[in-house]
Chains A and B, each alone.
Chain A
Amino acid sequence: MKEKNDHKHANRYGMVIDLDKCTGCGSCMVGCYAENNVPFKPDETNKLDSINWIRIFKLTNKKPYPDTEVCYLPMPCMQCDGIGKHGHSPCVSVCPAVATDYDYDTGIVSQIYTRCFGCRYCMAACPYHARKFNWWDPVWPADMEKYLSPNVSPRMRGVVEKCSFCFHRHQLAKDKAYLEERKELEEDEYQTACADACPTGAITFGDLNNKDHAVYQLKNSPKAFRLLERLETNPKVYYLTSKEWVRRAGDNYLAHEEPGKLNHTVKEHH
């Protein structure tokens, strides 16, 4: 949790997911499983111990037909910036062994599998249930091991894993840029697998601090909101919706409170 001083030039990678566009097709999940060697169980009946780095929730407005509306909501790790300053993410601040860390250059919350000893405190801390525990050793069906990505280390039993915003892709892009003697990455040089896989283009990924990246504008849209914003987790994943009930479902409100009209005590911290 060592802090760097040159925050100004640091990147802050984030995501904007347009819920009006998401069809709930699950391509992002498939892309993620393949990209990150995410293990699965022979029997996935119990979803509470399934491993996934991004998963899709189905929300409804709970109204009877014909007013029923449905919304699909993909949820990766929010790469929370946390209260006040960068790096005080709910999970990073609690990990006793510094096995999950906040990268001040990218804003990405890392997970160090060989350092994690499986106390699961970070899981208790994460309100998004973005963290998954390896209850079993991963077993892939015959031959499938040959298809695993060499860029992502598979995890072992007894450790926690979570979405890394495909950090290995960032490293590869950085390596390439270094060889070409560039400092900055282009927007399309570093994209996550889920953003690539989404057929409707619902997922936009980029640097929230960079005016030239699409996410910079999108996050300021009046349709934009973040999940459980009131907890001050300060997520870097934004959602777009034109529907009031979806926005309401994304956080907790007292009966008289209106989403979006709250006194803005909850601010984005830079």
Chain B
Amino acid sequence: MKETPLIPAGVKRCSKWQFSIWMAAVTAVLLWGVYAMFLIWYKGLNQTNMNDAYGFALWIWADLAVIALGGGAFFSGFLTYIIGKNELKNIINYAVIIGFICYSSALLILAIDIGQPLRGWFIFWHANVHSMLTEVAFCLSCYFAVLTIEFIPLILENPKLDKKPFLHHLSHNMHGIMAIFAATGVFLSFFHQGSLGGVAGVLFGRPFAYREHIFIWPFTFFLFTWSAAAFGPCFTILVTKVTELITRKKLVKDSVYQLLAKISGWMILTYIIAKTIDTLYWAFVTAPSKGFTLMDFYASSTYNIGILFAEIVLCGFVPGLILITKRGRENSFLLMTAVILAVIGVSLNRWVMVLQVMAVPLFSFNDWYAYMPSWQEVATTVLPVAYGLIVISLAHRYLPVFPQEKELNPID
């Protein structure tokens, strides 16, 4: 094969043609998103279906969701480098790549979402340190820098780049101090994941979102951090499994999956118990003190009480319980069901904390607000997915992402 110098030694990759066709297809989708993105930058946010009642919509949900799902990177990093779960070294590379994609997407979406993109830097320069969004912006950007730093050594391991002595040493030295970067990443993640929860939780004008505070942080602050750590690894597992399915080979040993799934399971279970307590307190203490009953918040046909059930029981307790039991984890059908439910669950939680917050009427003389995204919003939300597929494809083809791949798939 002509490409061999670029492809890591000892592994097999699909043919150039197959790869090119796949990339062309994904790039076409990407270009659709890029077109919509420029349309929005050029013509403004009137290209969306947002309105004054729905100022936060699909994008902010996408932002919150990808950041929660990208939480696998910081939590696996924490487990690998700080707790010392060496087993996870076999999946951490991929977790970092997925995190990198998620966070770069989140930053891109934010850049599309603001009304005056050229003034985006005001959020740093004129920072209001009391705003949750300021904290999000700072920690998000810093953590993205950390993820880039974690990604670089892997890129430098590409056989061609590795031949250059400086790059070879750089990769080695960066690996050497990775624990420091990982620890910084955990610190930053703790705050921005939390602040994203805080974004909704501090809105004392919105009783659906508002939660009581511990010191300056609303309960949602802790719930968001916790849920990102709990559900993020499920997304890592899901993406890795799908990659295995597409490449038709085993990339990570089962024991690695089992370990990550088990930790994730316990995190989900404890999270969902905390979430249940939070929900009960909110429903029976916080909301009534402001004149609302629980059912006032679920009185629309779209946002009915089924959503709460889906989020807490179906996509919370169920995956949590499956993953903590050995039998559940080891059965590949149950494992997949659990991780898929978990990914849906955390995305649903973020959806509710953004879109339902906007939908609930506050005055008895107002009705529920409805919103349906425009194609431009959909296209720009699909854009990061296409971009992610491209990055993953390139990384898988040219970088030694999975340390166990050679062992699991001997070529001759």
Contact = CB atoms under 8 A, between A and B. Distances in A.
Q: Do chains A and B touch in the complex (CB under 8 A)?
A: yes
Interface in B101-132: 113-117, 119-120, 122-123, 125-128, 130-132
A157 interface: yes
Interface in A120-158: 120-121, 123-129, 131-137, 156-158
Contacts of A133: 45, 52, 55, 115
A94 B122 contact: no
A interface SS class: loop
Interface size class of B (residues with CB under 8 A): 35 or more
Interface of B: 44-46, 50-56, 113-117, 119-120, 122-123, 125-128, 130-134, 137, 199, 202-207, 288-293, 296, 357-358, 362-365, 369
Nearest to A73: B365
Given A46-B51, A48-B369, A230-B291, 10 more contacts: A90-B203, A96-B127, A120-B115, A123-B52, A124-B358, A133-B52, A133-B55, A228-B362, A252-B296, A252-B362
A116 interface: yes
B95 to A, nearest CB: 29
Interface string A85-97: 0000010011111
Contact of B130 (A93, A99, A119, A230): A93
Nearest to A232: B204
A25 interface: no
Contacts of B363: 57, 227-228, 249-250
B114 A97 contact: no
Contacts of A97: 122-123, 125-128, 134
Contacts, number: 160
Contact of A119 (B114, B207, B288, B293): B114
A245 B363 CA distance: 13
A147 B125 CA distance: 36
A251 B123 CA distance: 34
A99 B128 CA distance: 9
Of A123, A128, A131, A232, chain B has the most CB atoms within 10 Å of the CB of A123
A117 interface: yes
A110 to B, nearest CB: 14
Contacts of B56: 120-121, 123-124
